[in-house]
A and B are shown apart, each in its own frame.
Chain A
């Protein structure tokens, strides 16, 4: 478990550094980048919001795509609640740490006790690395132009890495992802920045249509 935690920490560090740099390059201040990482604390969502800002999209579209993407954490919370059995202020703390990495690490354990331990350790490690890396990335991004160092290629590649396991999991997932991609590609030239991503949720209609056969 500890080796996994180090691996997750390093990956999160690199991703957080890229986020800090991307945020500053989109026009956010170093402080604003850090507030997002400290309080929103959900990587893919933060990238999505900053991406819309970088593309010159409106705040409404940026917020909407961020919240849509962040809604998966609600599902994670529903899964973690019975496992963590937290009450009161500890529940508010547990909620802050409810993200992809912590949920995955907890669910990979054999017993509830191990799952709880994995959850809190992963949360602590990822939170520390993510926020430190955001600060360093934001500072670096305000000194040099992060695009020169390939940041613009990192963002889509990182999104693809997040999507990778889902693409392997089922045919329906692959079709939904592809449909989302096609919708976005078609809309890029004709809609304001941010809209193509929101409109991609229409790809879910495929799931409604094939719901019967899919599961």
Chain B
């Protein structure tokens, strides 16, 4: 039940945020500083999400060798400017193989 509320609220909320962009006049973000700040929100969040997904299990630290190895190889792929598909496959393959070993 809670999951359904979350799914529907996320769906409605995300769609509303998109529609909002077409409704507000462009001058709202005319100040470059304001726009820059809004553009930086996902940067901070992604930085946090990467860490949480890499080293956390719920609310405790969990350093899983397979996950970290896969993430590291994926990270090298990103650094080498590999296409998104290569990054995803390299990370999955590495973690899967380490788990097999």
Give me the interface of A with B, judged by CB distance under 8 Å.
Answer: 7, 10-11, 14-15, 18, 27-29, 32, 35-36, 39-42, 44-49, 51, 53, 55-57, 59, 62-63, 65-82, 86, 91-92, 94-96, 98, 148-164, 166, 172-173, 176-181, 183-185, 188-193, 196-197, 199-204, 207-208, 211, 214-215
Query: Are A67 and B83 neighbours in the complex by a CB distance under 8 Å?
Result: no
Distance A186 CA – B1 CA, assembled complex (angstroms): 32
Count of B residues near A, CB < 8 Å? 81
Chain A contacts for B57, CB-based, 8 A: 55
Known contacts A14-B85, A28-B7, A160-B74: A68-B45 contact under CB 8 Å:
yes
Q: Are B38 and A32 neighbours in the complex by a CB distance under 8 Å? A: no
The 8 closest A-B pairs by CB, nearest first: A77-B21, A153-B70, A157-B74, A150-B95, A180-B47, A200-B48, A184-B48, A39-B11
Contacts of B81 in A (CB 8 A): 164
Question: Which of B2, B55, B70, B83 is the one whose CB lies under 8 Å from A157?
Answer: B70
Minimum CB distance partner of B84 in chain A = A11
Closest approach, in angstroms, between the C-beta of B58 and any C-beta of chain A?
A: 4
A152–B64 CB distance below 8 A: yes
- A45 vs B7: C-alpha distance when bound (angstroms): 12
Query: B43 and A156: CB pair below 8 A?
Result: no
Distance from B36 Cβ to chain A, minimum over Cβ atoms (Å): 6
Minimum CB–CB distance from A160 to chain B (whole Å) comes to: 5
Contacts of A148 in B (CB 8 A): 96, 99
- Of B17, B60, B88, the contact of A73 (CB 8 Å cutoff): B17
What residues of chain B lie closer than 8 Å to A197, measured between beta carbons? 45, 48-49, 52
Residues of B within 8 A of A200 (CB): 44-45, 47-48
